Amino acid sequence: MKKALKIIVLVLAVGFIGMQFFQIDKTNPPIAETETLEAAVAVPPDVALIMGRSCNDCHTNKTVYPWYASIQPNGWFLKDHIDEGRRELNFSKFNTFETKKKKKKLEEICEQVETSEMPLPSYLWIHRDAALSETERKALCDWTKQAVTNLEKSEPPASGWPKHFCPRNTRNTRKRRTIHLLFRVLSRI
């Protein structure tokens, strides 16, 4: 029995040591200033501070890796979250999105923090200071709403047609066809 225990401990120890040879890549991808969130929308200092503390490690190319990222399998989980977080929404690439996607992502930020889905709960176990207060959640939501309005204002009109009648602005094909037909008839008389 004692011998079996020794073997188990030995196997675990060797396994753990073996894992340490598979370190994660901690180099941050380069950032082009013109592609960032700040280049797309105005980010007030209080919002920048909140995001720097609670979001940027997973949603920018400015990740600061903690020391335990060098201990596997921790680092692997961490890297997985960072890769996925960046894939879903990378603030360092925000200005490369189309206006529609920018607005959607901004709306999602408010949604995710209001429902406490973000920052990821597992992140908060260690980064306790990343937890958001009610005031901070509100600050983020107010900012996203303002930013969406500003984006809408700066958007060029889709065409000379009134917004609601422009066929390109409606997903409903039947409505679109009817509008087209109407315009065709009107242009004949």
The footprint of ligand HEC (CB under 6 A) covers: 54-55, 57-59, 81, 84-85, 88-89, 108-109, 112-113, 118-120, 123
Nearer Cβ to ligand HEC, position 94 or 123? Answer: 123
Provide, rounded to whole angstroms, the least separation between the CB of residue 134 and ligand HEC: 14
* Beta carbon of residue 109, minimum distance to ligand HEC (angstroms, whole number): 4
Closest CA to 179 of 188, 168, 189: 168
In the complex, minimum distance from the CB of residue 70 to ligand HEC, in angstroms, rounded to a whole number = 17
Over its C-alpha atoms, the chain yields an Rg (Å, rounded) of: 24
Q: How far is CA 35 from CA 65, 92, 103, in A?
A: 23, 6, 16
CB 118, CB 53: distance < 8 Å = no
Identify the CA nearest to 55 among candidates 72, 37, 73.
Answer: 37
Residue 6 vs 101, nearer CB to ligand HEC: 101
State the nearest-atom distance from the C-beta of 172 to ligand HEC, in Å.
Answer: 25
Report the residue number, 74 or 170, with the smaller CB distance to ligand HEC: 74
Of 122 and 172, which CB lies nearer to ligand HEC in the complex structure? 122
The least distance separating ligand HEC from the CB of residue 67, rounded to whole angstroms, comes to: 16
Question: 70-77: long-range contacts (C-beta < 8 A, 24 or more apart)?
Answer: 70/23, 71/20, 72/19, 72/20, 72/22, 72/23, 72/24, 73/19, 75/23, 75/24, 76/22, 76/24, 77/122
C-beta of 54 vs 61, nearer to ligand HEC: 54
